[in-house]
Chains A and B, each alone.
Chain A
Amino acid sequence: MQLFMQTLVGGIGFGAVYALVGMGFTIVYRTMGLVNFAHGQIAMIGAFLSATFFLDTKLPFAVAAIMSMAATAVVGLVIEGILRPLEARDFDLMLIGTLGFGVVLEAVATRIWGATGRAVPAPVDRPLQVFGIIIRTYDLVVIGVGAVAAVAVWVLLNRTKAGAAMQAVAMDRDAATSVGIRVGRSNAMAFALGAGLAALAGTLAAPLLYVTPSLGSSLGIKGFCAAILGGFGNINGAVIGGLAFGILDGFAAGHFQQYSDTVTFLVFAIAIMVRPTGILGELTVNRA
């Protein structure tokens, strides 16, 4: 029982991280219709930035996280600005452009922070004991922050004008322009929001894993799979998919040791074959 509960909590913790990565993906997709292949690398940059703020300038973890989110959002704005001319002209080139940006970000991170990477201590590291079950306190922090972020994003998208504008642009870009929505600014905001979420995911994952330039690819792949599992384009789906993927990953690691990745992705592939639209169904965006 203890093993089960511990694995479950750990799985939900990672699930929250994947949910955040998936949410960031999905927001950019829903508002711009763009699948951002650099998303994992943006999360990695966020992780490195917060590690630097937390460890080198000795800021408290929460402050380091917020500063990293802000800085990474700026990086997101820069990327969107560079890719924007392609958006109206040839959308597929913009897609490939994000792939290129992923490579660039990884190389830049290696230049700035070196290839070996750094370990980040968790801000709270004493394990909790609840009914004889040892739980990593930090796992609960991750779950809590992830939940707050998910709610905040939902409120932003469904209850604010800016969010409504983002969704309108996704539905029909020309109609949105004709009712006075500034598409370029809305897209920039969406990208920045996505980047901020990615940075939060990377920051939270850093004490659980190890911050290296290759952190981006593993987080990116798993976050992408989480988004697909929950229903691509569906933000609630990204959350559900993230949690499901995290729990799957946790239990696979517990039972299959070194083959856990094989098992996880095998189960994911089968799940997608059985239900290609994902758990909550997809909401694809038409970029006609």
Chain B
Amino acid sequence: MKVTTTSRQWQLAVAACSVLVVISGCSSSKKTTGSSTSSAGAAAGTTAAGSAPASGSAPSSAASAAGASATVSDTSPIKIAVIDAQSGQSSSLGKWEYDGVKLAVDQANAAGGINGRKVELTVFDDQGDPTVSTNLARKAVSDGFIAVLGPAESADAIAMSPIFQQAKIPYITSGQSPAMPKLGDPYLFLNSPTSTTYDTTLANYAVKTANFTKIAMISNNGAYGKGEHDAFTAALKALNVTPVADQIVTPDQTDFSAALTSIRQKNPDALFIGAEEVESGLIAKQARGLGIKATIIGAAPTSTPIFVQTAGTANAEGAVSSTPYLTNDTNAQTKAFAAAYDAAYGSEPELHGAKAYDGAEIMLQGLKTTNGAGGQALDDAIRAVKYQGLVGNFAFDSTGVGVHETQIGIIKNGVLTAAAS
């Protein structure tokens, strides 16, 4: 059968269209709008957006809410959205955040909710991408959520700011870039100290306590990395120290041999890494592979198990970390949190889960004050909360920062321990 040119072109067009459909189908399936996760027996309702009824043993009062607009009735559930990276390289951050938030919400719902109303969490995957999170922010507004917890990525938090500010939706983020308080957004709160705090503590330790004289820096040019870079440089400057090297890489980079080779030339005794968990781990691994013996120092990412795993336990040994949450055994509150977290998820919590839990607790306190209402009232209520959390004593200032100090930890045998100061 002879295939004519026009029918061949038509076949090509059909094939191209079907491939495009497949590609867009595959990528949009990653943007799970409201992935339903099985609630571990507790009464919190996590529902798939728009249709499925609440799973678990929710009382009859909660059944009406699915998909309805936010009519404030006495018994309808309070809708909170969790917007975070559930896929991609930052997915561990998103998972930690969601687990911490869910634990707090489950505990609150088990204790009766907010004056009898259950809190309903819905999770959105922003893939760590500011473009996707902007779209999800609009969706959260139009779907009637009154508050948001997340994201863990500073860039995404900044992207969503104008939308939430206009819709008067308060959100508590786990990011720490100093660019966020600079926004002057009254609806943005941080459940963590900013990079400035982390790095001032770190610089003071590096220069005054550990007596490092030649400090090299390597950081990425994403929102978080840039914040770290600027904060650490400023902190060193305040101590009259100039870094011997200042290399910039990109957030998706996976080969750092060029930057590290150049750093090796300067023979540093400390290497500051300003990048997310996985990238920090890769930098540490490749640094050791190139013969760099400097002590690795960094902020929160170098305190995480993901860093140790990616770098390899041997390469992560001795890494210094500035973090507000050292171990789960610090005090009775952290021990209770760790026990509950372990019971719910079967794993030990760390900094990101702890600060997410704190953020959720503060949000719940705010909701109690306003009796489930949102908007400006909720915003003021959150700002007024004084809370002794797992990561510190929260007292929000006008820029949205609640905690203003961190501590120093050192990785020994793959585990973060307090540094002897």
Contact = CB atoms under 8 A, between A and B. Distances in A.
Interface in A60-115: 89-90, 92-93, 96-97, 99-100, 103, 107, 110, 114-115
Contact of A10 (B23, B257, B288, B312): B257
Interface residues of A, number: 42
Contacts of A121: 285, 312
B288 A3 contact: no
B257 A136 contact: yes
Contact of B12 (A96, A115, A210, A260): A96
Given A90-B11, A92-B8, A100-B19, A119 B89 contact: no
Contacts, number: 104
Contacts of B91: 114-116
Given A7-B258, A119-B311, A258-B248, A125 B12 contact: no
B326 interface: no
B68 interface: no
B291 A134 contact: yes
Interface stretch (B33-41, B71-79, B261-269, B359-367): B261-269
Contacts of A110: 87
Contact of A125 (B3, B23, B288): B288
B288 A257 contact: no
Contact of A254 (B89, B262, B285): B262
A253 B8 CA distance: 44
Nearest to A6: B261
A254 B255 contact: no
A281 interface: no
Given A6-B261, A92-B12, A254-B262, A115 B88 contact: yes
Contacts of A129: 291
A253 B22 contact: no
A184 interface: no
The SS class assigned to the A binding surface is: helix
A186 interface: no
Interface string B217-260: 00001000000000000000000000000011110011101110
Interface string B263-303: 01100000000000010011001001111000000000000
Given A121-B312, A208-B255, A254-B261, A103 B278 contact: no
Contacts of A118: 310
Contacts of A153: none
Nearest to A251: B258
A117 B258 CA distance: 23
A134 B265 CA distance: 10
Interface in A121-152: 121-122, 125, 127, 129, 134, 136, 138
A212 interface: yes
Interface in A243-288: 250, 253-254, 257-258, 260
Interface in B53-103: 87-89, 91-92
B26 interface: yes
Contact of A257 (B249, B255, B290): B249
Given A208-B255, A209-B254, A257-B247, A2 B265 contact: yes
Contacts of B16: 96
A36 to B, nearest CB: 15
Contacts of A117: 89, 278
Nearest to A2: B265
A60 to B, nearest CB: 17
A258 B221 contact: yes
A115 B87 contact: yes
Interface string B114-133: 00000000000000000000
Name the interface size band of chain B: 35 or more
A48 interface: no
B26 A3 contact: no
A54 interface: no
A253 B259 CA distance: 8
A93 B8 CA distance: 9
B213 interface: no
B22 A103 contact: yes
Contacts of A116: 88-89, 91-92, 278, 306
B267 to A, nearest CB: 12
A257 B248 contact: yes
A14 interface: yes
B224 to A, nearest CB: 15
A99 B22 CA distance: 11
B309 interface: yes
A136 B290 contact: yes
A127 B258 contact: no
Contacts of A96: 12, 15-16, 19
Interface string A1-22: 0110011001000100000000
A229 B87 CA distance: 35
Interface string B1-33: 001000010011001100100110010000000
Nearest to B93: A116
Contact of A93 (B15, B26, B264): B15
Contacts of B11: 90, 92-93
B219 to A, nearest CB: 10
A250 B257 CA distance: 9
Contact of A90 (B8, B258, B264): B8
Contacts of B312: 119, 121
A100 B22 contact: yes
Nearest to A90: B11
Contacts of B92: 116
A134 B264 contact: yes
Contacts of B309: 119
Given A6-B261, A117-B89, A136-B257, A93 B290 contact: no
Contacts of B288: 125
B155 to A, nearest CB: 16
A100 B22 CA distance: 8
Query: Which 8 A/B pairs are nearest by Cβ-Cβ distance?
Result: A253-B258, A209-B254, A127-B291, A119-B310, A254-B258, A210-B254, A115-B87, A96-B15
Given A129-B291, A210-B254, 7 more contacts: A3-B261, A90-B8, A107-B26, A136-B290, A212-B89, A257-B247, A258-B249
16 contacts: A10-B257, A92-B12, A93-B11, A96-B15, A96-B16, A100-B19, A103-B26, A114-B91, A119-B309, A127-B289, A208-B255, A209-B254, A212-B89, A250-B258, A257-B259, A258-B249
